[in-house]
Amino acid sequence: MSLVKPITPHLWFDTQAREAATFYCAVFPDSRIDSIVELHDTPSGDCDVVSFTLHGQPFMAISAGPVFRFTPAVSFIVNFDPTREPQARERLDATWAKLIDGGEALMPLDAYPFSQRYGWVKDRYGLTWQLILGDAAGEPRPAIMPCLLFTGEVAGRAAEAGAFYRTVFPDSRAGRCVPYPEGSGPDAPGTTMYSDFGLDGTWFAAMDSAHPHGFGFNEAISFIVTCRDQAELDGFWAQLSSDPRSEQCGWCKDRFGLSWQISPIALAEAMTSGNQPVIDRVTQAFLPMKKLDVAKIEAAVRGA
């Protein structure tokens, strides 16, 4: 059975969620702000929560204070496919120009062995993007794909993680896998130079890097899994939550340190209802929870 909504990247900002979402919607085609909700009386004070869509990929963002910072451990690959768009290279360059304005290049926009046109950029908000000109070979990938970089203590575990996630999510499948060859030190031969996989229709990329980056996964970027009911929520929580210290408000961390939010559709519907008293009641109901309790959330919606 497929999820009721696609797996949704969630971005944690200090104060700039609205501003950043508006900026990204101006950068990418087929983009829009879907909803803006204000949460009251949270540990971070009043918080904006913005739901938006970029190039067909749903996102959510929150302004909740300077608690977490983005790192390149999670970035977003943007595919430009010249077989479907004759002006793909020109649009790639234009997108790069917008994203690097106020940001910086992590890998310069240039030709590389794996692509005629590629660059890795950190934008003005600290979020990182990999822009790549595709080729005609193989099955097309979505325009935007989350990319997981396994570094530090989890370097070398990208293949293991991909296999694990494919057991957790329905309708999942492996995609490409390119191992590091001999002489790629410090990366061990056979570890993952690049891979991708589909999780219930949402494509992810994953790579290993044994270089001393000094960063890893954190709560600045998490992934929302929207469930139909308590049973489905319990199932995902049991498989994905591996650190009891990180369990709060439906958030958890898996065995690789990646953060997830396991959330019922009832919460999503309440938060986008436009009914502020309902939103306020539901917010106060879920704030003390670790794993979310669907019955209590539905009771808060009713005012019971």
DSSP 8-state class, residue 188: P
**pLDDT at residue 59, as a whole number:** 98
176 lies in the same domain as 231? no
- Domain containing residue 250: CATH number: 3.10.180.10
Residues 152 and 35 in one domain: no
Using CA atoms, how far apart are residues 87 and 255, in angstroms rounded to an integer? Answer: 42
Q: Are residues 204 and 83 in the same domain?
A: yes
Cα dihedral value 11, 16, 17, 19, nearest 10: -130
Q: What is the total count of domains within the chain?
A: 2
What per-residue confidence (pLDDT) applies to 27?
A: 98
- pTM, two decimals, is 0.97
Same domain, 119 and 146: yes
Whether 2 maps to a domain, the answer reads no
pLDDT of residue 204: 98
The sheet with strand 192-199 has its strands ordered as: 104-112, 115-122, 128-133, 74-80, 144-150, 202-208, 192-199, 173-179
> Quick check: is 84 in a domain?
yes
Instruction: Return the residue matching tokens 């943007």.
Output: 78
**Greatest CA span in the chain, whole angstroms?**
64
Whether residue 53 is found in the same domain as residue 82: no
Q: Give pLDDT tens digits along the chain (304 positions).
A: 788 999 999 999 999 999 999 999 999 999 999 999 999 999 999 999 999 999 999 999 999 999 999 999 999 999 999 988 889 999 999 999 999 999 999 999 999 999 999 999 999 999 999 999 987 667 789 999 999 999 999 999 999 999 999 999 999 999 999 999 999 999 999 999 999 999 999 999 999 999 999 999 999 999 999 999 999 999 999 999 999 999 999 999 999 999 999 999 999 999 999 999 999 999 999 999 999 999 999 999 999 7
12 occurs within a structural domain: yes
Based on the fold, state whether residues 231 and 153 are members of the same structural domain. Answer: no
> Does 62 fall in a domain?
yes
Please tell me the distance from the alpha carbon of residue 164 to that of residue 17, in angstroms, as a whole number.
31
Range(s) of the domain holding residue 177 = 74-208
Whether residues 115 and 181 fall in one domain: yes
Shared domain for 112 and 197, answered yes or no, is yes
150 is written with which tokens?
A: 């396994």
